[in-house]
Chain A
Amino acid sequence: MTKRLLLGIILVLLVASAAPAVAHDKYRFIGTVTKMDGPKKLLTIKTTDKKLPPEVDIDITGKTRIERDGKKVTSAALKPGVYVVIDALGDDVFGTEAVSVRIVPAPAK
């Protein structure tokens, strides 16, 4: 019984340790795709905002909506050079998951 109790407490503490991770912030990343790592589902973009790192990695999940002109497309459309607007959630800029990725025309220079 004591063994079970200790095991239960360890399990409880493990679950509880995940609690702070639930507080996610919203991020918007705008920029050009430099890499899409298919197996890792990791999208790298070169950002335009000087207050963000020059390059950021964003996780693409099964729930991420990827669209172009309002229509859903697959992650295969995220080729290097494509301009994207990404809304993501994460604890900080280095650990975010994309909620949506919109492929848009690059701004006029």
Chain B
Amino acid sequence: MLLAACAPAILEAHGVTGRDAAWLRSIDGPAIGPLAYLGAKHMVTGYDHLLFLVGVVFFLYKPRHILLYVSLFTIGHSVTLLLGAMGGLHANPHLVDAVIGLSVVYKGFENVGGFARLGRWAPDSRVAVLVFGLVHGLGLATKLQDLQLSRNGLFVNIVSFNVGVEIGQVIALSIVLAALVWWRRTGRFDRDAFAVNAFLMAAGFVLIGYQLDGYFEEPARPQVVQAAAANGSAAAPTERASYASDTTQIELAPYDYVEYKYKLAKGAAMVYSWRASAAVIHDFHGAPDGGGDADEISLEKGTKAGASGTLTAAFDGMHGWYWENPGGSPITITVSSAGFYTRAVESRSNRTTQIHEVKVTK
């Protein structure tokens, strides 16, 4: 239960997010060192990959066996990382991560002797490690695909990221193996091995549950009308926007808040102006598609009664305002904008969402 209780923060923390993601989106050309660093960081902090690796080496004692299994895992994830990021091999990130969770369950189950006890057939563990390695690589690739990296220097950057992943794996494995060697010497290893592998299975099931929950909760993707290759991006296709304009009036009850955002593709621009009948707490920000709260990037925040300006979207996603009424009297906000967006979405504190039609100029 402790694991489940801690899960949200841990699970949200995984992936290439926040400043790392913003920086990756901004690079245009080879960046070997930073990409290698990010790859290593992703591996060392990637609990799903680490849990699987712990399961893989748990009962391996001979160095040549460790080398064999780790090599199979490395070959597997390198192949799909390169194919995924360079060749456009794509799968739903939630489903890929759910299978990665299954890989953790599989190793835990095998380590507690599950296959030997409950069935006559067990998968060849070398083949399983290779196949699950392919899935782990696809998981890494989907994270990079979602960032829509520039084609300029992409191959060098992906290879650098992969090298970083391997460096991170060596670092993580060294720590895990050192801990295992110490643990085996204490004499408690055999007694506690069952509990640790049961924990691995539990962690795997939690990962599966969390990812499936995310998959079924995920809103339907917008209609695809423009291939990514056409605009030089390595990412998934995006929505094409015509020039549109919008004027909306929003009533804000005492102490209540609202979010009003436009759907903009990377590079799309808009001009905006908003005025409130009294000062409001505001946060002008962007939320990348597929990201969580932690991925939101604030552009301007404070307390005031209006603002105007221009915005060029740094990524595909929703861009707009959080407005909060700090006082006990109702406030009216009028927002006007024009630009290359496809729709406006108003989200209220009572969890209702309203999609506003925008006026499209043909």
List residues of A whose CB falls within 8 A of some B CB.
Answer: 1-2, 4-5, 8-9, 11-13, 15-25, 27-28, 30, 48-49, 51-52, 85, 93, 102, 104-108
List residues of B whose CB falls within 8 A of some A CB.
Answer: 1, 3-5, 7-8, 11, 112-114, 117-118, 194, 198, 201-202, 205-206, 208-210, 213-214, 217, 253-257, 328-330, 348-352
Given A11-B198, A51-B352, A16 contacting B208 (CB threshold 8 A): yes
Given A8-B198, A107-B329, A19 contacting B205 (CB threshold 8 A): yes
B222 to chain A, nearest CB (A): 22
- A49 B210 Cβ-Cβ under 8 A: no
Query: Secondary structure of the B side of the interface?
Result: helix
Residue on B with the closest CB to A28?
B349
Given A16-B209, A20-B213, A25 contacting B4 (CB threshold 8 A): no
Closest 9 CB pairs of A and B: A19-B209, A16-B205, A18-B4, A28-B349, A107-B328, A107-B254, A8-B198, A15-B202, A85-B255
A60 to chain B, nearest CB (A): 18
- B117 A5 Cβ-Cβ under 8 A: yes
Complex: A28 Cα to B253 Cα, angstroms? 12
Complex: A63 Cα to B239 Cα, angstroms? 43
Q: Chain B residues near A2: list those with CB within 8 A.
A: 117
Query: Secondary structure of the A side of the interface?
Result: mixed
Task: Give the contacting residue for B112; candidates A5, A51, A85; CB below 8 A.
Answer: A5
- A5 B352 Cβ-Cβ under 8 A: no
Given A19-B4, A48-B253, A51-B352, A4 contacting B217 (CB threshold 8 A): no
Complex: A19 Cα to B117 Cα, angstroms? 27
Q: Chain B residues near A21: list those with CB within 8 A.
A: 4
A105 to chain B, nearest CB (A): 5
- B328 A25 Cβ-Cβ under 8 A: no
Complex: A98 Cα to B85 Cα, angstroms? 42
B171 to chain A, nearest CB (A): 29
Q: Chain A residues near B348: list those with CB within 8 A.
A: 51
Complex: A1 Cα to B330 Cα, angstroms? 67
- A23 B210 Cβ-Cβ under 8 A: yes
- A49 B198 Cβ-Cβ under 8 A: no
Q: What would 5 A/B residue contacts be, using CB atoms closer than 8 Å?
A: A11-B202, A25-B351, A28-B349, A49-B349, A107-B329
Residue on A with the closest CB to B105?
A12
Given A8-B198, A51-B350, A51-B352, A19 contacting B114 (CB threshold 8 A): no
